[in-house]
Structure 1
Amino acid sequence: MHRRIHTLRLQAATLAAALLAAGTMAAAPAAPAGAAAATAVATDYCGGHCLDILPPGENGNATLADILANRVFGTRPAHTDDQLAPYAGLASAYPGLTDASLRSFFNDASFGVPADQVASTSKPRSDVTIVRDKATGVPHITGTTRYGTEYGAGYAAAQDRLWLMDLFRHVGRGQLSGFAGGAAANRQLEQSFWQAAPYTEDELQRQIDAISGQGDRARQALDDARAYLDGINQYIKESYNGRYFPGEYDLTGHVDPITNAGGIEAFKLTDLVALASVVGALFGAGGGGELPSAQVKSAAEAKYGKEAGDAVWKSLREADDPEAVLTLHNGQRFPYALPPDEPQGTALPDAGSVVPERMIYDATGTGTQTATKAPGLLPGNLLSAKHGMSNALVVSGSHTDDGHPVAVFGPQTGYFAPQLLMLEELQGPGISARGAAFAGLSFYVQLGRGQDYAWSATSAGQDITDTYAVPLCTTDGSPATLAANSYLWHGQCLPLERLERKNAWSPTTADSTAAGSYTLVMYRSKYGLVTARGTVGGKPVAFTSLRSTYRHEADSIIGFQMLNDPGAVRDPASFQQAAQNINYTFNWFYADSRHTAYYNSGSNPVRAAGVDPGLPVRAEAAYEWRDFDPAANTARYTPPAEHPQSVDQDYYISWNNKQALSFASAGFGNGSVHRGNLLDDRVKALLRNGGKVTRSSLTQAMESAALADLRAEDVLPELLRVIRSAPVSDPALATAVQKLENWQAGGALRRETSSGSHTYTDAEAVRAMDAWWPLLADGVFRPGLGDGLFAALTGALQINESPSGGQTGPTSGGVSANESIPHKGSAFQYGWWSYLDKDLRSVLGEQVAGPLARPYCGGGDLVACRTVLLDSLKRALAQTPAQVYPGDADCSAGDQWCADTIIQRPLGGVTDAKTTWQNRPTYQQVVQFQTHR
C-alpha cells in the first residue's frame, strides 16, 4: 500500500499527520506486562529441537499513527519485520550452518514462554490467557475451557491480522472492489475468485448446516468457530472504541480518522467459509486444464495427422512419465486418473471455436472499462496465474545422527506484509499445537507441531476438476446458438442458473481514480460452472468446470481439528486418518521421534470407465462421475487405501512433484526435469555411503536447492555437451560458454558474492541463461511444432519461470512465452525444462525413457541442433541488461539482483525491505523430536 496511499483521501491523511505530530492520535495500547509465563498445559517432547520461522513478522496490524510514522520516519510497529532478516540471512550463511547456529535463522518453537522471555500477558476472558514472547511477539494462548481457548485464538487473530482477514472475506465473495477500491488488479482478483467459487449467502450457510450433521467432531468444530468469532468481534469492539484498530480502515474511508464515524463489520460464520474458499482455490485444488490440453491435442493432430499428432500430445503431456521424480520412490503404485488407451466420451472443441465466458455486465463509469492508475491491494492474477508452492524434506531415524527423524518442511504461500499466515500456540482442552494458520481460520493450527509430532503439507494438485461439454438448447425448440442460456440434462432442456454479484466503488475509496460499478455474472449447470463456450462437431456447447470440493470448502475443518488434538494423533496411522478428513489436494508429511509418514489427501472422484481426465468430456450420464449427485455436488470418491501413502520410507521429498508411479499428473510439466530433483539429488547425496543427516545438513540441502537455477543444474549440461561437440570459433560465444560452464561446475547457484553485496557471483552467466532460455525454447521447438501448436503448448505450460519473471521471450498469437508474478520468490516449477532435456539427450544419442514423440532440435541432427543453440545464445548475449531485466515500479532496468528480489507485497499500510532471492517455503519448520508419549 506504500505506492497507493497518495491516492487515498489526502485531507484525512494530512489531518492525521498533524494529529500525530501533536501527539494526540491514539496508538494500539500495549498489553499489560506479565511477571511469568502462562502455566503450560502440555508436555513438550521436542527437547528444544523444534524451530520455525515466518517472515516478515507476527504483527500485521498498524494504527493510522503507525502507518503515517512508517511513511514519514520509516519506523515500524514492534514485531512487524523481525523475522525477515534471519529468514533472508540463511541465503548467505547456510554453507557454515551448524545445529547450534540454526537458532540464528529460526525461532525457538518450543511450547510455552520462559518467565524471563514474557513480553506481555493479557486475559480477554477469565478462562484464557494470551502470553506474547519478547523475541517474536507470537501469541501463546492457554485456555482453561475449550471455549476460552478458541475465544483467545480469535482475539489474538484480530490483534495480528484484522485488516487482512477483512480483505479476504471480501475477496472470497468477489467483493473486493467495493471494499478496497476499483483498481484494475482488485477487479481482476475478485473476478477470478467469483469465477472459481460464486456463492450466495444461503449457499455459504448451507455448507455450515451440512457440517453440523456430520457427527460430534463436526459439531465441536462449529462451536470452536463460534467461540473464535466471539473473540474476533470482541477485539473489534474494543479497538474501535479505543481507536487502535488498523489504520487502513481510516485510509480507505471505512472509518473517519477525525470523528471516528463509520465502523468495522462484525465477523460471522459465513465469513469463515468465504475465507476457506480462498485458501482452497489457491492451494488445495487440482485439474481443470482440460481445454488447454484439448487445444494442444487438436493443434498436434492438425500439424502431424491424427495418429502421429496424438502421440505428440501424449509425449508432451507426460501424464505418467517414467523419469519423473517421485515422492514415493520404492516402487509403490497408486493408479489414478491415468489416460485410457481408448478414451470414451471425449469432446474436443472445434478449432478456433472456444470463447471465454463473459462475466462482466452493466458496467458504468470510466473506472470500469479502463485500468485505474493505482495498483491493487493484491496481484490481480493471484488465483489465475500458476503458482509455485511448498516443499518438504523428511528423513527417517535410521539415517540421522541420533536415530530420530529429521524434517525440514513448510508451505510456500507467497510473500506479503502481513503474511497470509500467522503464528500461534494453542493449549486447551483437546487442543495442543503450535505453528501457522491462515489469518481468519486460526482456530486451529493448520501446519505445525503437536506435543510429540509435527506435520506439514505441499500442494498436490491431483485432478479433482473436470471439464464437461454441455449441449446448449432452447426451451422453445429453436436452433441453439452460443448465446443460449439453457442446456441439456438427461434429455431435458433446463435453464442455466444465473449467479450475480453487484459491485460499485467511488472516487473516495482507496485505489480508485474513478467511480464505477459492474455486475459479475456466472452461469451454473448441474455439471458445474460455465467457463467458456464453443462448438463440438459444429454444435454449440458450454464448457463447464466441475470441482469435487465446490460447495465443500468447509468440510476439511474436521481433519484440521484432529491434527490439533493430542488424543486423535499419536502415530503415523492416526495422522493419516486425520489427513483423510481433509478434502483439499495436499501432500501431508509427518515426523515424530520414531516414525515418518506421508499421505495424499483430496476428494478424488471415481470417473466412468474409459474417460480421460485430461480432456473435456461429453455431458452425458454415461460419462458422469460415479454416484454423482448434482444437488449436493457429491460423488463416489477413491477410498483412502488408494491414495498415495507411506510410513517410514528412507526419506521423502516434495516440491509439488509427482507423488507415485501410476498416479497421473494433472496438466503438463511432470517430466524428467522438475524442481523436485533439486531436493531429491541433495538428500540422496547426504545418505550416500551411509551418511547420517542432521538438522543443519538437511537445512543446508534445502537452502542449496533454494538458490539453485534448475535450468543450469539439470539442462545446461546437455546444452554444453551439444555445443562442445565441435570447437566454438566465435570469441564472444566461447567466452560466454566458458562462463556458463564455470557457473554450472560451481553449483549453478544464484548467490550473492557476499551478504548484502546485491551482486551475484556468476552474474554474467546468470544473465546469459535468463536471456537465453525463452529464445532457446523458441528456436528448438517452434520450427517443428509450427506457430499453432507452439502457441497452444504455451497455453498449457509456460516456457519459463525465472526468479525475476522479466524474460517474456517470443510470443505467438498473443500467447506469452512466460507467465510469472515478479518478486514472488517461488520459481522453476512451470517450464519446458523436461522437453529440452529429453530432446537434447535424444539428439546426443542417449536412450531416453518416455521420449518425445519426435525430434525437435535441428530436426534431430546434432550439427543442426548445435547451430540452433549457438544462434539463440548469440541473440541472448546481444541483449542489454536493461532488456533482460526491464525494470518495474520497484527496480531500475538492468538491476539483476533487484529483478530477482523478494518483496513482501504490502497488503496494508506498512512496508518491508527487499530481500535476496530464495526459492523456499514462506513458513518453515526444522524439527527432530527426542521422545514420545
Structure 2
Amino acid sequence: MRRRLGTLMAVGAIAAGTVVAVQGPAVAAPAVPAPPTDYCGTQCADILPPGQNGNATLAGILAHKTLGTRPAHSADQLGKYADLGDGYRGLTTDTIGQFFNDASFGVPDEAVESTEQPREDVTITRDKATGVPHIAGTTREGTEFGAGYAAAQDRLWLMDVLRHVGRGQLTPFAGGAEGNRELEQSFFATAPYTEEELQQQIDSAVAGSGDRGQQALADVTAYVEGINAYIAKSDSGRYFPGEYVLTGHKDAITNSGEIEPFKLTDLVVLAAVVGAQFGAGGGDEVQAAVAKLAIQEQYGLAEGEKVWQALRSENDPEHVNTLHDGQSFPYAQTPADPQGTAMPDAGSVVPQQLVFDPTGSAADGQQAPAVTPAGNATNPDGTPNLDAARGMFDDGVLPGDMLSGAHGMSNALAVSGEHTESGNPVAVWGPQTGYFAPQLLMLQELQGPGISARGASFAGLSFYVLLGRGQDYSWSATTSAQDITDTYALELCDPNGGTPTVESNAYLSGGQCVPMETVERKNAWKPTVADGTPEGSYTLRSFRTEYGPVTSRGTVGGAPVAYAALRSSYLHEVDSIIGFQQFNDPDVIKSAQDFQRAASDINYTFNWLYADADDTAYFNSGDNPVRDPAVDPSMPIRAHAGFDWQGWDPAGNKAQYTPFEQHPNSVNQDYYVSWNNGQAEDYASAGLERGAVHRGDLLDARVKGLIDSGTKVNRVNLTQAMAEAGLADLRTERVLPLLIRVLESSPVDDPKTAEALRLLKEWQADGGLRQQTEPGSKAYRHAEAIKIMDAWWPLLVDGSFTPSMGDAAFEAMTNVLQINQSPSGFQNDTPGEHLGQPHQGSAYQFGWWGYLHKDLRSLLGDEVRAPMGTPYCGSGDLGACRQVLAGSLNAAVDQPIAQVYPGDDTCEAGDQWCADALVHRALGGITQDEVSTQNRPTFQQVAEFPSRRPATR
C-alpha cells in the first residue's frame, strides 16, 4: 500500500500538468553572498531557447505526452527568441527586454523564485523569469560543487546521453534505433579512446599546466561531486529524469535500478564530443583528392590543376575576412610544387569498415512497428501508463547526423567605441549550436573565489562559463575550422610476408611491418518503452595507427594504403580547460590583451571576440601544427616519408605549433564580423566554402553600411543588422542581380520568364527576406518568389556547370562542397544532397554562390579578381548562358511546390513556412513547437559596458 501511495503521489499532479517535487521541511532561506559590482548596469542581455529546464520527471513527461503541458522554464525563452524575426524593425532600447533576458549579475529579492544550499558553502538562487541558476559560493570548491549540482538539475539526462555517445556506447544505453547507431559510430570513429587514455588526458593536462592545472583538477573534482550529490538526492526522492524509466534504467514502481554516478573521465568524453563537433578543422583530404582527380580527368592535368585551384578558393581576394585592415597571417597554404602527396588511384577509395558481427536488428535493419501512444497518463489502477511515451526515441535519442552534418554555425558583430553612440564598444554575438530540446548549452551565473561570470556552457562542462560575460567584459566565439587535421597514407603490409591488400591490418613503420592497434566496443541492446527497436548487437572496431584512426583505404600507384587522420587536438581535448578557467577569473582578464593570451591556451579551432568599455579584440585559437613547407595540407600525405609535422612525437601526439603572433589577432579594428568566414588574408581554410560570396557578406554589408553612412551604432541598430541578415536570402542579395543582368541582356519575350523575373525583382526590392506576412501567420511575404528561388538554384547550378564539368566531376565536387544550403534544405535531390528539411536555422554556410558569381561576372565583362579556371555557363557565350538561365527558371516555375518542399515528420509536403521552420529536436521526453526561421545564434548576447573596474584602467 505504501508503494502504491508513493506511485500515486508521483503521478497525481498530471491532470494539472504540474511536476511533483519532493520537498523537505520548511527552513529559512539561506543567506546569499552579494554579487560583485556589475559594470554593465542594465546593458547586458542574453537568450537561449527553448528554456533553462531540461529535466522532466516521469510524471512531467507523461503529462506532456497526454495533456501537452510542459515543466516550468522548459519553454519560456522560445517565444522571446522567435519574436525577434517579426519585431526587430520596431526594436528600441526599452524593448530589448521583450526579446532577450536581463543578463545582470545576481537576482533582486523580488525576482527570486527559489533558493537552496546543496551544501553550506554554496547557494543556488533561481530567478522567476527564466529559472537560471545563480550560483554563489563562499569557497571555490563550494562554487564548483554548486555548478555540478545545478547542471544535473537542468541537464542530467542529456549529460548521461552524451557521455555514452562519446564512448561509442549509446545503443546499450538508449536503444538500437538507427539514429543512435549512426551517432555512436560517427563519434567513435573520431575519438576511439580507451579508458586509460581518457585518464591520461587528465593527468597530462594537470601535469603540464602548473598551479592552474592543479586548480582545474580541484574544480572538476568538486563539480563531479555536485553532479553525483544531485543524482543520489533525486534518486532517493524519486524526482530524477523520467527518461531513465522509459529506457529501462529505473523501475517506475519499485525504483530499482541505478543512475550511474559520474566520474572525471566522463568530462573528458564530453569535451571530446564538443571538440569534435565545433572545434576541429580538416580531415577531408581524401574526398578532396577524389574531386581533384575527377577534375583532372575532365580537363587534363595542366588545365585541371588551374580549374581545381579556382574551385579550391584557398585565399580568394574577394572573400570577406574578419580582419580587413590588410593583416596577413600565412598558414596551411598550398605550395607551388607540393611534395609527398599521396593521391589515391581512381576508384580505389573505400571507407574504413567500423561495424562488425551485427546480429538481430543491427544486421537486418529491423524496426518495431509504430505504436500510437495511449491517451491517458495513468492506468485504471493509478500506476503510470508508460505507453503514453511509447516509441519516443524510435528515431534515436540524438540526431544521427549530429557530427557528420555539422558545419560552421555561429556569428558575431562588434563595433569599436569610435563608431558608437555612447563611445563604448557594442557587441551582438553568440554560438549557433543547433536547436534541441533541451539545448546542448545551458545558462548559469558563477560567483566565487577566482570565478565571476554569467553565460552559457555545454551540459556537463559547466564548471566554467564557456561563453558569456564577466564583471566588465563580454566574450564569444564562432567556429573557425582552420586546418588542424592532416590525412596520412600508410603503406600496408603482411606480417607473414605475403602480398598485402587494402584489407591488411598492418603497415610499414621504420622498415618494420607493424600491426594496427584495435579498440572495440561490443554493443547490444533490447527494446524499451522509448525505443522499440528489436534486440540486436554489433561490434564497433577502430583501427588505429601512429598517425591516428584509419578513416579509409585505397591504393596509391597500385600499392594498398590506409588513410589515417592526424588531428592536433587528438588525445588533447582536456588541454583547453586552462583558457576557459582564465576567462572566468576577474584577476586574470583585465584587458583585451589578457583575453587574447587566455584564448591562446585553447587548442580548439575558434574565433574568439571580446569587448569591454574601452576595447574590442579578436583572436583565432587552435593548435596549428607547423608543417613541412613542401606539403599541401589539403591533400593526403605520404606517411614515414619525411613529411611529418615538425617536432611531432606520436607518443602522446605532440608537435610544434605556430606561436601566438602567427594566429590572426587584432585589437580595436573599426568593427568585426564573423559568420564562419575567413579569418585573415593568407590564412587557409580546411574547406572550399570561403569564396567570393559568403554569408559573412550579409553581416559585413550591414555593419559597414552603418559606419560608412556616419550612423552611430548602438545596441538597437546592431541587433537589427544581425536580425535582418538572419532573414536575408544570400542568393537573392548577392547573385540574383547578376542573373537578372544576363536574362535581360536581350528582351525577355517569354511571358513565364517575364513574370518570374517580376516576382523575383519585387522580392529583391523588398529586401529579399524570408519574413512572415504578419507575426504568427506562418506564410511568407513574396512566397511565390521564394519558392521560385528555392526551386531554381539547384537547376541553374546544374545547368551552368555540368556541361563543362561532366557528370563525374560535377558529382565529385558536390561531395566536397554541396551546391545549396537554404533554410529549407536541399531541394531536387541534387548530387551529394538529400531531400527533406534540416530545420537547423544555420543556412548559406556553404554553396556554389561564389562560383556562379565569378562566372557570370566574367561573362558580363565585369572585373573579377582570381577568376574561375574556365568558363562554365554557356561555355562563356552570353546568349547560350541566357538560354540556360531562362530554361532552368521556367522549369522552376513549373515545379510543384510539394516537390520543392517535400515534407518530413514535422511538415506536410508543400508547406513552405514549415519547411524553413526551426524545429527543436527532442533529446528527451519534452518536445517544443516549431517557430519561424531565423539564421542566427542559438545562444546570443547583446552587450555594451559603460564602465570598467578601476584597477583595469
Q: For residue 616 of structure 1, report the CA deviation from its aligned partner.
A: 0.4
Comparing 67-76 with 670-679, greater Cα deviation is found at 67-76
Specify the code of the residue in structure 2 equivalent to 1:208. Answer: I
Q: For residue 386 of structure 1, report the CA deviation from its aligned partner.
A: 3.7
User: 2:364 aligned to 369, 373, 379, which one?
Assistant: 369
The residue aligned with 2:179 is 185
User: 1:65 aligned to 31, 40, 59, which one?
Assistant: 59
The residue aligned with 1:597 is 617
User: 1:157 aligned to 133, 151, 154, which one?
Assistant: 151
Q: For residue 43 of structure 1, report the CA deviation from its aligned partner.
A: 1.2
User: 1:268 aligned to 242, 246, 263, which one?
Assistant: 263
The residue aligned with 1:535 is 555
The residue aligned with 2:475 is 455
The residue aligned with 1:7 is none
2:351 corresponds to 1:356 = yes
User: 2:121 aligned to 121, 127, 152, which one?
Assistant: 127
Cα deviation digits, residues 483-504 of structure 1 (max 9, x gap): 1110011222110111111111
Secondary structure in 1 matching 2:549: strand
Cα deviation digits, residues 557-596 of structure 1 (max 9, x gap): 0000000000111101100110011000000000000000
Comparing 152-161 with 65-74, greater Cα deviation is found at 65-74
2:681 corresponds to 1:687 = no
| Distance in 1 of aligned mates of 2:243 and 2:39 | 41
Cα deviation digits, residues 429-479 of structure 1 (max 9, x gap): 000000000000000000000000000000000000001111001112221
Cα deviation digits, residues 848-878 of structure 1 (max 9, x gap): 1011100000001110001000111111111
Alignment of 1:816-895 (within 5 A): 816-817=832-833, 822-895=838-911
2:335 corresponds to 1:315 = no
Comparing 816-825 with 684-693, greater Cα deviation is found at 816-825
Equivalent residues of 1:759, 1:897 under 8 A apart? yes
Equivalent residues of 1:112, 1:140 under 8 A apart? yes
Equivalent residues of 1:184, 1:371 under 8 A apart? no
> Could you say if the C-alpha distance between residues 523 and 850 of structure 1 is closer, same or farther in structure 2, counting changes exceeding 3 Å?
same
User: 1:912 aligned to 928, 934, 939, which one?
Assistant: 928
| Distance in 1 of aligned mates of 2:673 and 2:495 | 54
Alignment of 1:69-108 (within 5 A): 69-108=63-102
The residue aligned with 2:326 is 331
The residue aligned with 1:257 is 252
User: 1:140 aligned to 114, 134, 138, which one?
Assistant: 134
Secondary structure in 1 matching 2:879: helix
| Distance in 2 of aligned mates of 1:731 and 1:15 | 70
Comparing 99-108 with 361-370, greater Cα deviation is found at 361-370
The residue aligned with 1:3 is none
Equivalent residues of 1:468, 1:617 under 8 A apart? yes
Cα deviation digits, residues 648-701 of structure 1 (max 9, x gap): 000000000000000011121101100000000000111123221000100000
| Distance in 2 of aligned mates of 1:868 and 1:830 | 23
> Could you say if the C-alpha distance between residues 490 and 121 of structure 1 is closer, same or farther in structure 2, counting changes exceeding 3 Å?
same
Cα deviation digits, residues 334-383 of structure 1 (max 9, x gap): 00001100001011100000000111001111344316362111111110
| Distance in 2 of aligned mates of 1:22 and 1:439 | 30
Specify the code of the residue in structure 2 equivalent to 1:63. Answer: T
Secondary structure in 2 matching 1:620: coil
> Could you say if the C-alpha distance between residues 328 and 22 of structure 1 is closer, same or farther in structure 2, counting changes exceeding 3 Å?
closer
The residue aligned with 1:613 is 633
> Could you say if the C-alpha distance between residues 13 and 757 of structure 1 is closer, same or farther in structure 2, counting changes exceeding 3 Å?
farther
Secondary structure in 2 matching 1:672: coil
User: 2:484 aligned to 445, 464, 468, which one?
Assistant: 464
User: 2:759 aligned to 728, 732, 739, which one?
Assistant: 739
Equivalent residues of 1:453, 1:590 under 8 A apart? yes
| Distance in 2 of aligned mates of 1:25 and 1:446 | 31
> Could you say if the C-alpha distance between residues 543 and 702 of structure 1 is closer, same or farther in structure 2, counting changes exceeding 3 Å?
same
User: 2:188 aligned to 185, 194, 206, which one?
Assistant: 194
2:409 corresponds to 1:389 = yes
Equivalent residues of 1:774, 1:817 under 8 A apart? no
Comparing 578-587 with 95-104, greater Cα deviation is found at 95-104
Cα deviation digits, residues 813-868 of structure 1 (max 9, x gap): xxx34588611111110111101111111111112101110000000111000100
Q: For residue 133 of structure 1, report the CA deviation from its aligned partner.
A: 0.5
> Could you say if the C-alpha distance between residues 13 and 610 of structure 1 is closer, same or farther in structure 2, counting changes exceeding 3 Å?
farther
Return 5+ residue gaps in structure 2 as ranges. Answer: 1-5, 369-393
| Distance in 2 of aligned mates of 1:212 and 1:23 | 47
The residue aligned with 1:340 is 335
Equivalent residues of 1:388, 1:827 under 8 A apart? no
TM-score with structure 2 length normalisation? Answer: 0.94
Equivalent residues of 2:742, 2:882 under 8 A apart? yes
The residue aligned with 2:292 is 297
Specify the code of the residue in structure 1 equivalent to 2:853. Answer: D
User: 2:273 aligned to 272, 278, 281, which one?
Assistant: 278
| Distance in 1 of aligned mates of 2:589 and 2:579 | 11
Cα deviation digits, residues 183-242 of structure 1 (max 9, x gap): 001000000000000011111111011122021101100110000011110000000000
Cα deviation digits, residues 751-799 of structure 1 (max 9, x gap): 0010001110010000001111111111000010001110110011011
Specify the code of the residue in structure 2 equivalent to 1:231. Answer: G
> Could you say if the C-alpha distance between residues 316 and 37 of structure 1 is closer, same or farther in structure 2, counting changes exceeding 3 Å?
farther
> Could you say if the C-alpha distance between residues 480 and 882 of structure 1 is closer, same or farther in structure 2, counting changes exceeding 3 Å?
same
Specify the code of the residue in structure 2 equivalent to 1:783. Answer: P
Comparing 911-920 with 288-297, greater Cα deviation is found at 288-297
2:42 corresponds to 1:38 = no
Identity of aligned residues (%): 61
| Distance in 2 of aligned mates of 1:55 and 1:543 | 41
> Could you say if the C-alpha distance between residues 30 and 108 of structure 1 is closer, same or farther in structure 2, counting changes exceeding 3 Å?
farther
Alignment of 1:469-548 (within 5 A): 469-508=489-528, 510-548=530-568
Q: For residue 23 of structure 1, report the CA deviation from its aligned partner.
A: 11
> Could you say if the C-alpha distance between residues 384 and 14 of structure 1 is closer, same or farther in structure 2, counting changes exceeding 3 Å?
farther
User: 2:692 aligned to 672, 678, 690, which one?
Assistant: 672
| Distance in 1 of aligned mates of 2:400 and 2:192 | 17
| Distance in 2 of aligned mates of 1:230 and 1:267 | 8
Secondary structure in 2 matching 1:189: helix
Specify the code of the residue in structure 1 equivalent to 2:811. Answer: A
Runs of 4+ in 1 over 4 A off after TM superposition: 12-26, 28-37, 818-821
| Distance in 2 of aligned mates of 1:698 and 1:600 | 23
Secondary structure in 2 matching 1:94: helix
| Distance in 2 of aligned mates of 1:169 and 1:462 | 27
| RMSD between aligned residues | 1.8
Comparing 384-393 with 110-119, greater Cα deviation is found at 384-393
Q: How many residues align?
A: 918
| Distance in 2 of aligned mates of 1:60 and 1:30 | 23
| Distance in 2 of aligned mates of 1:589 and 1:628 | 30
| Distance in 2 of aligned mates of 1:388 and 1:303 | 31
| Distance in 1 of aligned mates of 2:367 and 2:883 | 46
Equivalent residues of 2:827, 2:836 under 8 A apart? no
Q: For residue 803 of structure 1, report the CA deviation from its aligned partner.
A: 0.7
Cα deviation digits, residues 31-88 of structure 1 (max 9, x gap): 9798698332411100110000000000111101111111111111111100000100
Equivalent residues of 2:826, 2:835 under 8 A apart? no
Secondary structure in 2 matching 1:454: strand
2:776 corresponds to 1:756 = yes
> Could you say if the C-alpha distance between residues 664 and 806 of structure 1 is closer, same or farther in structure 2, counting changes exceeding 3 Å?
closer
Cα deviation digits, residues 729-764 of structure 1 (max 9, x gap): 221221111100111111110000100011100100
Secondary structure in 2 matching 1:121: strand
User: 2:224 aligned to 229, 232, 241, which one?
Assistant: 229
| Distance in 2 of aligned mates of 1:805 and 1:190 | 24
Secondary structure in 2 matching 1:690: coil
Equivalent residues of 1:171, 1:189 under 8 A apart? yes
Equivalent residues of 2:408, 2:480 under 8 A apart? no
Comparing 872-881 with 692-701, greater Cα deviation is found at 872-881
Equivalent residues of 1:801, 1:819 under 8 A apart? no
